[in-house]
Structure 1
Amino acid sequence: MTPSTTAGAAGLIREALEVYGDDPQAAAVLRGYARRLAEPLRIAVAGMVKAGKSTLLNAIIGEEIAPTDTGECTRIVTWYRHGHTPRITLHPITGEPRNLPLKRVDGRLVFVLDGVQAEDVDRLDVEWPAPALQAMTLIDTPGIASLSQDVSARSVRFLTPEDSASEADAVIYLMRHLHASDLRFLESFQDTGAGRSGTVNALAVLSRADEVGAGRIDSLLSAGTIAERYSRDPNLRKLALGVVPVAGLLAQSARTLRQPDFEALQLLATLDRAARERMMLSADRFRRSREPEGLTEEARRSLLARYGLFGIRLAVVLIRNGYPEPTPLAHELARRSGLDPLLEVLDRQFQARAEALKARTALVAVGNLLDSRPRDGSEQLAASLERLQANAHEFRELRLLAALRTTGVELAPELAAEAERIIGGHGTAPDLRLGLAADSSPDLLAAEARRCLARWRRAAESPLTPRSALEVCRVVIRSCEGVLADFAVRDRRAQSA
């Protein structure tokens, strides 16, 4: 996101405040969106009941602070923000906010609603000194398609309000299988206004991926094959950037691995393979086994609750094959759980576009205000909005990416695929745009950018290129020029250093 576009979004909010300054409600909304421009990106975690939303959220944060049971708190929209001091604030639907006591049980944060019913709570705000929350605010939402229509409606209202932009800038949507209800939600989250598309701010996660292979050690490979097939599904492709398989329970426990867990896993690793396989035929058999000596029933129950059979099997194999210390083991378990690939996708798709996504949300808010509360003197504001949407290259990239994944363009398939990559469909880093290795030298990257620029200029000038594809060529050309301009700026800084 260029500084001029970021400043343009902030300027548009200021202009809107001048027009609607005498409307207290509209002014309060606009000031809220102005603050959002300076805040971390807001990412909601959504999905059906028992999809593993809170578990995955804990894994991303690296601490067990989101409740994962089926209690009252899982029916409430809960925000997780960075704060230097831990704090939980309850915001009731009516009345003043109040702080809740901080309580931990067995290492987990427990929310004590102090007699307040979930249906009377607007949201919970959790401030926590977790490094992961410095770059993003995570929002845990109640299950969609819940047996309780009120619980399900609460998530839908929050994520897809009828008369305003969503409170979330992006969404991670968890699914265990691809159901029609998953597609319906993503379709409702997809923005359809100018410069907007749910395609570029939604990511699907095949959750509880270890269950795909019934807990076998190769379960993630099977889940990866299914996720790849889903990502090519034409109905899902137009609604989400991709599908990532994650074993959420293992990811959470790997990020919060405890010394007693490690010692119990070490004991299991002393057994020979045949004995281990016999005892792990089922969870019940694992609990009742008396091997190895010294592993208590309580320790077995804890391992099953925290890792599942898949995680236990994998951890034991890793210990026996070169991971005899807790920290390296935890890192490898997190990687194999699918969490690391998910974090990489979040970084290159959401965080790299954070300013553009936040600015787009601000523009949506102004557009909704103009539509819902038209008034004399707002013509100039409407013109400013249209000009910013049309001229900001980041928004042109987002619109083209949406078109490539939905309606398509009149280009050969290989050119369309290259266009999607160059405008940031796989990530906005130069190597990802150019299809080169991450460790490619600046000279190689610049040379490839020049080749791409020349190729797309020829395409734009060719009489064989359909007129409908000329705008595609112009956007891709501008993206290539942007990559080269970034390299030129870096060179100048290096020379002046």
Structure 2
Amino acid sequence: MSARATLVGQVRSVLREAVEAHRDDEDTATLLRRQLDRMDEPLRVAISGKVKAGKSTLLNALVGEEIAPTDAGECTRVVTWYRHGHSPRVTVHPREGLPRQLPVSRVDGALRIDLDAAPEAVERVVVDWPTRGLRDTTLIDTPGIASVSHEISASATRFLVPEDEPREADAVIYLMRHLHRTDLRLLESFQDRGVARATPVNTIAVLSRADEVGVGRIDSLMSARRIAQRYRADPRLRKLCQTVVPVAGLIAHTARTLRQDEFTALAGLAAAPRDELDSAMLSVDRFTRTGDGRARLLSRFGLFGVRLATVLIRQGFDDPPRLSAELVRRSGLDELRETLSVLFAERRDLLKARSALLALDTVLRDRKCPDATRLLSSVERVLAEAHEFAELRTIGVLRSGAAEIPPEASAEAERLLGGDGGGTWSRLSLRPDADRETQLRTALEALSRWQRWAESPLSGRAFVGLARVVVRSCEGLVDRLNEDG
């Protein structure tokens, strides 16, 4: 049995014991049963950020359908879950009273949700939708977070950082238009301060609306990538999130939902004299007043998107599927989806086990029962014995800069611990198609190197402790490769 399967089994066992211990408290028992059921559900990923960061637009791009309202309507002011379902269904969960279904309607191809209630009276809206994009991940669109005098209100992050209930999301995608101190404070608020310790592994930052970085210039996305690379190296961000990915959400969303009439309009623009088109695209006003239907095109693509699409059509991307694929690639969405796959999907069981322990820890401390002390000891034992959690904590230490270690060892340690992905090849900094012999040889070399560091009398105490965790990770890689052989 794999270590991950063992960890999941241990977490399930502790949860079942906790349910039994609270059998006389139906509300608490039900809460814990939901955590047990949650272990079998898709990973829950919350999309968060300040107002106008582009959360709903990015969600639509990830799903590939227009199901999240992008206007400033009432629905954008409540927490909305988007999960896979066999048929379309919208359910509103009020703070008081029973859930009720809402009519499913679409306007211009986009899902429209009419709450028929004040947003303050709604706990959440759940949208079930039959689409491949939601089979493995439930996406949770959170209301835009505002700041007042650069201070974050306690209620702003209630959904992600509740005071008296287990949090709902296993991981977070945080959108920011540029790095501001309020973004740092918000990211800090997402860090767990309890059972799993503060760690950046369940958060990814997205430099959203990347096409606006260069004021609409054709090289805007290149500028955004350079800025994201600089942010990745920022020590303030490194200790709060896994990585920073630039994404032009509007372009990604429109590319994945590109329509034939839109392509025809873009092809017509691309066929116009270049000087004439360049002159028309100097401003929004010029562009919209020089042709019918251009306002609609502009709302879907933005000025930069129209400019990029016409350039690509001239370069040979002259049919809708090819143009759509190239726009998606250039938008940064493919990079984000790959990042989510490597850093979240591959860690699905670990992140869900972590969420379950966080929930259980909260319940046991806030809702006392005769077996609370024993159960809390069981939680602590799982944390102490599970190497996966030791890896998470050590990654947090590395990113925080709290331990003094040789510079040449830091990057390798983080990678071997799974900081760049849990796959054997990614931990060993090899290509995905590297053969078993190459992987085994590289793993043995890493194991030998870190064993020397762990046993060296010249290594400081903190570095020795860190090195021992890395050694155990390397031993796990070697064992896994020998089993595969």
TM-score by length of 1: 0.94
Residue correspondence of structure 1 range 11-90 to structure 2 within 5 A: 11-90=13-92
Match of 2:364 in 1: 370
1:453 aligned onto 2:447: yes
Match of 2:190 in 1: 189
Aligned residues of 1:43 and 1:171 also touching (Cα < 8 A): yes
Distance in 2 (CA, whole Å) between partners of 1:146 and 1:100 is 32
Distance in 2 (CA, whole Å) between partners of 1:198 and 1:265 is 46
CA separation of 1:213/1:85 partners in 2, compared to 1, >3 Å: closer, same or farther?
same
**Aligned residue type for 2:46:** A
Distance in 2 (CA, whole Å) between partners of 1:118 and 1:379 is 40
Match of 1:425 in 2: 419
- 1:489 is paired with a residue whose SS is helix
Structure 2: runs of 5 or more not aligned? none
**Aligned residue type for 1:45:** I
1:162 aligned onto 2:163: yes
Which shows bigger deviation, 475-484 or 323-332? 475-484
Distance in 2 (CA, whole Å) between partners of 1:328 and 1:223 is 24
Deviation at 1:168, TM superposition (A): 0.7
Distance in 1 (CA, whole Å) between partners of 2:112 and 2:335 is 29
- 1:159 is paired with a residue whose SS is coil
Distance in 1 (CA, whole Å) between partners of 2:111 and 2:367 is 43
Match of 1:394 in 2: 388
Deviation at 1:465, TM superposition (A): 1.5
CA separation of 1:85/1:385 partners in 2, compared to 1, >3 Å: closer, same or farther?
same
- 1:174 is paired with a residue whose SS is strand
Deviation at 1:263, TM superposition (A): 0.7
**Aligned residue type for 2:217:** R
Match of 1:104 in 2: 106
- 1:2 is paired with a residue whose SS is helix
Deviation at 1:153, TM superposition (A): 6.0
- 1:38 is paired with a residue whose SS is coil
Distance in 2 (CA, whole Å) between partners of 1:328 and 1:482 is 43
Deviation at 1:345, TM superposition (A): 0.8
**Aligned residue type for 1:353:** R
Aligned residues of 2:263 and 2:320 also touching (Cα < 8 A): yes
Q: Across the two proteins, how many residue pairs are aligned to each other?
A: 482
Deviation at 1:407, TM superposition (A): 4.2
Deviation at 1:320, TM superposition (A): 1.3
Distance in 2 (CA, whole Å) between partners of 1:284 and 1:489 is 65
1:416 aligned onto 2:410: yes
**Aligned residue type for 2:284:** A
**Aligned residue type for 2:328:** A
- 1:123 is paired with a residue whose SS is strand
User: Which of 297, 314, 328 is the equivalent residue of 2:292?
Assistant: 297
Aligned residues of 1:265 and 1:312 also touching (Cα < 8 A): yes
- 2:158 is paired with a residue whose SS is helix
Match of 1:280 in 2: 281
Distance in 1 (CA, whole Å) between partners of 2:229 and 2:360 is 38
User: Which of 303, 311, 329 is the equivalent residue of 1:335?
Assistant: 329
**Aligned residue type for 1:297:** D
CA separation of 1:181/1:143 partners in 2, compared to 1, >3 Å: closer, same or farther?
same
Match of 1:316 in 2: 310
Distance in 2 (CA, whole Å) between partners of 1:110 and 1:172 is 24
Deviation at 1:152, TM superposition (A): 7.2
Distance in 2 (CA, whole Å) between partners of 1:78 and 1:411 is 44
Structure 1: runs of 5 or more not aligned? 290-295, 492-497
**Aligned residue type for 2:316:** G
Distance in 2 (CA, whole Å) between partners of 1:99 and 1:155 is 27
Distance in 2 (CA, whole Å) between partners of 1:488 and 1:249 is 47
Residue correspondence of structure 1 range 120-199 to structure 2 within 5 A: 120-145=121-146, 155-199=156-200
**Aligned residue type for 1:66:** A
What does the per-residue CA deviation read over 1:294-341, in whole Å, with 9 as the maximum and x for residues that have no partner?
Answer: xx512x112110111111111111111121111121111011001111
- 2:46 is paired with a residue whose SS is strand
Which shows bigger deviation, 17-26 or 393-402? 17-26
Deviation at 1:155, TM superposition (A): 4.6
Which shows bigger deviation, 155-164 or 67-76? 155-164
Deviation at 1:157, TM superposition (A): 1.0
CA separation of 1:442/1:486 partners in 2, compared to 1, >3 Å: closer, same or farther?
same
- 1:63 is paired with a residue whose SS is coil
What does the per-residue CA deviation read over 1:124-181, in whole Å, with 9 as the maximum and x for residues that have no partner?
Answer: 000001111111100001110168x9x9765511111012331111111111111121
**Aligned residue type for 1:76:** V
**Aligned residue type for 1:218:** D
Question: Alignment identity in percent?
Answer: 54
Distance in 2 (CA, whole Å) between partners of 1:272 and 1:474 is 66
TM-score by length of 2: 0.96
Aligned residues of 1:78 and 1:123 also touching (Cα < 8 A): yes
Match of 1:307 in 2: 301
Aligned residues of 1:189 and 1:198 also touching (Cα < 8 A): no
Aligned residues of 2:47 and 2:140 also touching (Cα < 8 A): yes
Which shows bigger deviation, 221-230 or 39-48? 221-230
**Aligned residue type for 1:191:** D
Aligned residues of 2:365 and 2:372 also touching (Cα < 8 A): no
- 1:157 is paired with a residue whose SS is coil
